[in-house]
Amino acid sequence: MISTDGLLAAGAAPIIAILRGLRPEEAVDIGRALVDAGIRLIEVPLNSPDPFASIARLQEAFGDHAMIGAGTVLDTAAVERLAATGARLMVTPNTDPEVIACGLAHGLEVVPGFLTPSEAFAAIKAGARRLKLFPASEQSTGYLRALLDVVPRDVGIWAVGGVTPENASGWLAAGAQGVAVWTALYQSGASPADVSARAKALVTAIAHR
């Protein structure tokens, strides 16, 4: 079964592409642009049009060599629907132990959102081993370094919110396991060619950090 650790070890870029606003009919073409550029972690936020249909199409097309999933997962009903698609990535904007536990019970790779140390440790206690620092744009790389001094070494922190090709390498240099990127990669209505160009630029920026 594909895993985040396996993808990163195999050389996939440490980037989660956030496809907020994605429509099902464009999902495969946009997904292909990302995968071909080296981005193998893709989330469709659940406040997108018909998100589970997009997730199912992405999973069918790329699930063998990319990790597909949902973002903005807020309750256990959404976790159940996500698991039914066969997708494996679950990203939340908050720390909800019940949602985290439900995701883990379904074998999902859970990445709950947190901002404070208390939220981080609540997520870890619930079983999460990857955390989403959100919104990262409101903090600093120094804040991340301070968090990494106290969280367990087997817990990875991903910077999310305001990440761009210009600052992504700074977050990684500070110790982030990866970053998640929205508008610098995809905006509703963007063409596959545009997404491809943005994805390649971001992957290149990280590779040369």
State pLDDT tens for residues 137-188.
989 999 999 999 999 999 999 999 999 999 999 999 999 999 999 999 999 9
Radius of gyration of the chain from its Cα atoms, rounded to whole angstroms: 16
pLDDT > 70? residue 209: no
pLDDT for 163: 95
The answer to whether the peptide bond before residue 49 is cis (omega within 30 degrees of 0) is: no
Once rounded to an integer, what is the mean pLDDT over residues 113-127?
98
pLDDT > 90? residue 80: yes
Contact 74, 21 (CB under 8 A): no
Catalytic option among 60, 80, 109, 132: 132
> Which residues on neighbouring strands pair with residue 167, listed in sequence order?
none
Q: How confident is the model at residue 3 (pLDDT cuts 50, 70, 90)?
A: confident
CB atoms within 10 A of CB 166: 9
In 3D, which of 172, 161, 122, 168 has the Cα closest to residue 139?
161
Strand order from edge to edge, sheet including 67-71: 109-111, 89-91, 67-71, 41-45, 15-18, 178-181, 156-160, 130-133, 113-114
Q: How confident is the model at residue 2 (pLDDT cuts 50, 70, 90)?
A: confident
- Going by their DSSP bridges, the two strands 113-114 and 130-133 should be labelled as parallel
Q: Letter for the amino acid at 9?
A: A
Catalytic option among 43, 60, 138, 200: 43
**pLDDT above 70 as % of the chain:** 98
Q: Is 200 part of the annotated catalytic residue set?
A: no
Specify the range with the lowest mean pLDDT, choosing from 59-63, 89-93, 134-138: 134-138
SS3 category, 124: helix
pLDDT for 35: 97
Q: Is 125 part of the annotated catalytic residue set?
A: no
Q: How confident is the model at residue 208 (pLDDT cuts 50, 70, 90)?
A: low
pLDDT for 6: 76
pLDDT for 147: 98
Domains of the chain: 4-207 (3.20.20.70)
